Chains A and B, each alone.
Chain A
Amino acid sequence: MEELKEKVISLPRLGEPAPSFESTTTHGVLKLEDFKGNWLIMFSHPADFTPVCTTEFIAFAEIYPELQKRGVELLGLSVDSVSSHIAWVRNVEEKTGVKIPFPIIADLNKEVSLAYGMIHPGQSKTETVRCVFIIDPKQIIRTVLYYPLTTGRNMQEILRIIDALQMADEHHVATPANWKPGEKVVVPPPNTQEGAEERVKEGYECVDWYLCRKKI
């Protein structure tokens, strides 16, 4: 328990390199650096053969083609064995017709779960909570989401975050609340008085110098 507490304190944070790993998965042994150059959504689920997790895996499989178009790979994780993962994904395919196309880490020794802070003892001392780590092509953590055991994740929000991050990286802009692709983005505010005076004359749609929008 002491060791667990120590690991939880060192949670990976946004803007930091994702903790490296080498793990047994349903697609063989994979290392974090195998994904270098691609975006990666690494997510944990509490356990195989459980209802909410099954709906989430089907939903992740459904958005996988959209993720691929955006250069994003998926990697699941739980503390179940690889045999359990294989049996579960085969059962999902048999019962629902949905093939799970992405690998799942079998983190039996909890090494990856602890490195990524996926076990929250207040929720469960043995299972991982529903974490989502969005890792960029340079393997920097760009988003962290935690959902409780009882709440399945929203795939459209995950896709929206990917779109927003890629938009921000490509065009050096930010995205406002509830932004969706195709909508106006926020121009980063100037950081000098001179810049503020010029900003309102630059042709953007401005509420004031610090909140200007433009169409990409």
Chain B
Amino acid sequence: MACISPDGKLSESGMKMLNTLKSGSATPEDVARIALPPLFRVRSGLRELAQAGIVKTDGDKYLVTEKGMALKS
């Protein structure tokens, strides 16, 4: 599922991924295990969140940016 709607709002699945990452950086595999299988959806969703500047990559892990932290759960 797309994580960000055309009006810029985070979908339920996008919010789940963001909240998982707010408790610490994680790989897509970790996020899928904790929050939202299947893995392909997490990989696609995290890429979308990264393009929007809400998360960023650090090696093979994703972490939340200041912009992402400012978004309310």
Q: A interface vs B, CB < 8 Å?
A: 27-31, 33-35, 37-38, 73
Number of CB contacts from chain A to chain B under 8 A: 32
Residues of chain B from 1 to 34 with CB closer than 8 A to chain A in the complex: 1-3
- For A31, give its contact among B1, B3, B39, B44 (CB under 8 Å): B44
Question: What residues of A have a CB within 8 angstroms of the CB of B43 in the complex?
Answer: 31, 33-34
B38 touches A73 (CB 8 A): yes
Q: B interface vs A, CB < 8 Å?
A: 1-3, 38-41, 43-45, 47-48
Lowest 5 CB-CB distances: which A-B pairs, in order?
Answer: A28-B2, A34-B40, A34-B43, A35-B40, A30-B44
B contacts with A: majority SS: helix
A75 nearest in chain B by CB position: B40
A contacts with B: majority SS: mixed
A102 nearest in chain B by CB position: B38
Q: 30 interchain pairs (CB within 8 A)?
A: A27-B1, A27-B2, A27-B41, A28-B1, A28-B2, A28-B3, A28-B41, A28-B45, A28-B48, A29-B2, A29-B44, A29-B47, A29-B48, A30-B40, A30-B44, A31-B43, A31-B44, A33-B43, A34-B39, A34-B40, A34-B41, A34-B43, A34-B44, A35-B40, A37-B39, A38-B38, A38-B39, A38-B40, A73-B38, A73-B40
Question: What residues of B have a CB within 8 angstroms of the CB of A27 in the complex?
Answer: 1-2, 41, 44
